[in-house]
Amino acid sequence: MNNLNTLIADYFKDSIYLLIENAIDIHNNAINKPNDIYLSGKLMAYVEVLSLLQMQAQAFSIPLESLKLDKFEAEKDLLSSRIISKEEIIKT
């Protein structure tokens, strides 16, 4: 059972990492194409999902650091008007 728990934890960490990475790419593209409604909508979906994941982690007392979410604030970061580098948000 311990291997399964580790596998599940790694799955979630990796999935969250990929979601943040994708969201940053979409955010940066959306800045360069402010009139692209599709990109704006896609970005808002990522904001919603990542915000929910952060809130749920806190509700379940899961440290945000363990999910690599401690340096990331979905609404603040993804709705800003500046280009974001992945390195400033994602700890590898």
- The predicted model scores a pTM of 0.85
The tens digit of pLDDT for each residue in 54-84 reads 999 999 999 988 887 888 888 888 988 888 8
Report which residue type is found at 40: S
CA distance 44 to 23: 9
> Quick one: pLDDT at residue 57?
92
CA distance 47 to 27: 10
CA distance 84 to 24: 7
